[in-house]
Structure 1
Amino acid sequence: MSDAGGAARGAGAVLAALPVLGAAAHIVPAGAWLDGPRRALMPSLAGLGDPHHVALTFDDGPDPASTPAFLDALEGLGVRATFFVLGERLARHRALGAEIAARGHELGTHGWTHGRPWWPDPRGEIRGLRRAAHGVREAAGTSAVWYRPPYGVLTGDRLLAARRCGLRPVLWSVWGRDWTADATAASVLHTVGRGLTGGATVLLHDSDRHSAPGCWRATLGALPALVARCRERGWAVGPLGEHGVRPAR
């Protein structure tokens, strides 16, 4: 009886621990959001690549109110970039997504929506990411390679979804804090510049759908000086596909 009782108590303890273990598996990978550990332990996730190249990336589009201005500016600068598009936005503006690709840029996926992953939902994450990746393939004519989760929060569910969909997660090395109401071209350039090195992946936004209204204008205004600074230092500027990010081991 005592052995049976002990086994029952042990089984009960395991069952009681399952929710905790599940929550840990969901949230622990999200620690990659922290810049220091990401750069040191997961350079591929930080987007660290060729030291003679800087990857330029934009999140949250496509947005007919702002994305065309970025496409024109990039064309004028002779630069191509990676656009991490939201599936639900791409479904509404597929022609704009196709134009991004037609003008030589790379489409990555930013998920289906810009939601926060408060609770584990592996099936939902897989379903949404697969749907978003399908939209990229239809708009660009090629399959997406890269996945950047909303807010940069790479939970266990999102990591599993990326693997199931054949996508490579990548976050960033530096950002411009261009989503804030007080962002200016000067502040975006200064913030990016503090950590900008050869091999960096730069996070910016071509839409204010999930940011302060109108803040995209600060990003647009910073682009010429940002590209010029990179070129002055001998760094080419381009999309992630040309960045030489090594696959995660």
Structure 2
Amino acid sequence: MSPVPGRSWWTAAALLPAGVAAAHIGPAATWLPGVRLLLFPGLAGTGHRRHIALTFDDGPDPVSTPRFLDALDGLGVRATFFVLGEHLVRHPAVAVETVRRGHELGVHGWTHNRPWIPSFARDAGEIARAVAAVQDVTGRRPLWYRPPYGILTSGRWRAARRAGLRTVLWSAWGEDWTATATPASVRARVAADLRGGGTVLLHDSDRHSARGCWHAALGALPAVVEGCREAGLAVGPLCEHGPAPTPERTAVPTGEPAG
């Protein structure tokens, strides 16, 4: 599903006191590519200028994720998979296989929810629960966090920092969650925004988007990778993308004290 904030988001925010709403949703402005790339390059996933970080959201999915793993093997590419805790505990074998093949897992949350009402306790609990699940299943502690829909709030930001995670959104995406997406459209959409040092967002599951849309992302994958290589850019996971930005270096205005 598209990570575009919907009308209900703004309706819910309007019901909150102005100060509380501003503090809560202020960081969501980083969803805007111009704001993110210009002011918060670490949050946009900017890394080494000769490298592209390839990332996938919404798995693990026993139907589609293995297809992506096979395709990536064929391309000789490793990636970062941002997983949802509720899917991870249902399909641990897929997560284990993902790591066994050399990929890394990041945290996408416990469920694919929108943060309508501020609750730091909720955010902290869900992110910590997802971190623990990744570590329990794979034996490896995740490094990265990407909020569902790309909506970053003050609570989610603080919760990720408390869990020791670095928040990363993206600098290019394929809009592969729609029913009309095709391999060609995904490839073109990625290419329109992709530059050296960028982070690509695709989806390895259709659980939170149009049914079957993962076929478009999978079909576009060889062309996306080949396009990067033709431009002299290496493709890999976030852990190979460059010096990892610390939370302090990529801090965004939260309206709340750090901690």
Pairwise same-fold verdict (TM > 0.5): yes
**Alpha-carbon distance between aligned partners in 2 of 1:140 and 1:58, rounded to the nearest angstrom:** 18
1:1-249 to 2 correspondence within 5 Å? Answer: 19-244=17-242, 245-248=244-247, 249=249
Q: 1:139, CA displacement in angstroms?
A: 2.1
Instruction: Deviation per CA, 1:25-78: give whole Å up to 9, x if none.
Output: 111011110100100000000001000100000000000110000000000100
Q: 1:246, CA displacement in angstroms?
A: 3.1
Contact 1:47 1:200 in 2 (8 A): yes
Larger radius of gyration: 1
Amino acid at match of 1:140: T
**Alpha-carbon distance between aligned partners in 2 of 1:146 and 1:246, rounded to the nearest angstrom:** 11
Instruction: Compare the two structures and name the one with the higher helix fraction.
Output: 1
**What's the secondary structure of 1:60's corresponding residue?**
strand
Q: 1:23, CA displacement in angstroms?
A: 1.8
Contact 2:183 2:218 in 1 (8 A): yes
Which position in structure 2 is the counterpart of 1:8? none
Q: 1:183, CA displacement in angstroms?
A: 0.2
Contact 1:111 1:150 in 2 (8 A): yes
Amino acid at match of 1:138: D
Contact 2:166 2:245 in 1 (8 A): no
Instruction: Give the superposed CA RMSD.
Output: 1.0
Stretch moving more, 236-245 or 171-180: 236-245
Q: 1:247, CA displacement in angstroms?
A: 3.0
**Alpha-carbon distance between aligned partners in 1 of 2:190 and 2:161, rounded to the nearest angstrom:** 30
**Alpha-carbon distance between aligned partners in 2 of 1:92 and 1:237, rounded to the nearest angstrom:** 30
**Alpha-carbon distance between aligned partners in 2 of 1:157 and 1:182, rounded to the nearest angstrom:** 34
Instruction: Deviation per CA, 1:168-223: give whole Å up to 9, x if none.
Output: 00000000000000000000000000011110000000000001000000000001
**Alpha-carbon distance between aligned partners in 1 of 2:217 and 2:49, rounded to the nearest angstrom:** 24
Q: 1:136, CA displacement in angstroms?
A: 0.9
Instruction: Deviation per CA, 1:70-125: give whole Å up to 9, x if none.
Output: 00000010000000000000010011111111110000000000001110011011
**Alpha-carbon distance between aligned partners in 2 of 1:108 and 1:196, rounded to the nearest angstrom:** 21
**Alpha-carbon distance between aligned partners in 2 of 1:229 and 1:24, rounded to the nearest angstrom:** 41
Structure 1, unmatched stretches of 5+, are 1-17
**Alpha-carbon distance between aligned partners in 2 of 1:139 and 1:149, rounded to the nearest angstrom:** 21
Equivalences, count? 232
**What's the secondary structure of 1:171's corresponding residue?**
coil
**Alpha-carbon distance between aligned partners in 2 of 1:125 and 1:148, rounded to the nearest angstrom:** 13
Which position in structure 1 is the counterpart of 2:3? none
Amino acid at match of 1:174: A
Contact 1:107 1:140 in 2 (8 A): no
**What's the secondary structure of 1:114's corresponding residue?**
coil
Percent of aligned pairs with the same amino acid: 63
Amino acid at match of 2:94: L
Scaled by the length of structure 1, what TM-score is found?
A: 0.91
**Alpha-carbon distance between aligned partners in 2 of 1:38 and 1:216, rounded to the nearest angstrom:** 26
Amino acid at match of 1:75: D
**Alpha-carbon distance between aligned partners in 2 of 1:102 and 1:152, rounded to the nearest angstrom:** 27
**Alpha-carbon distance between aligned partners in 2 of 1:129 and 1:246, rounded to the nearest angstrom:** 19
Amino acid at match of 1:112: W
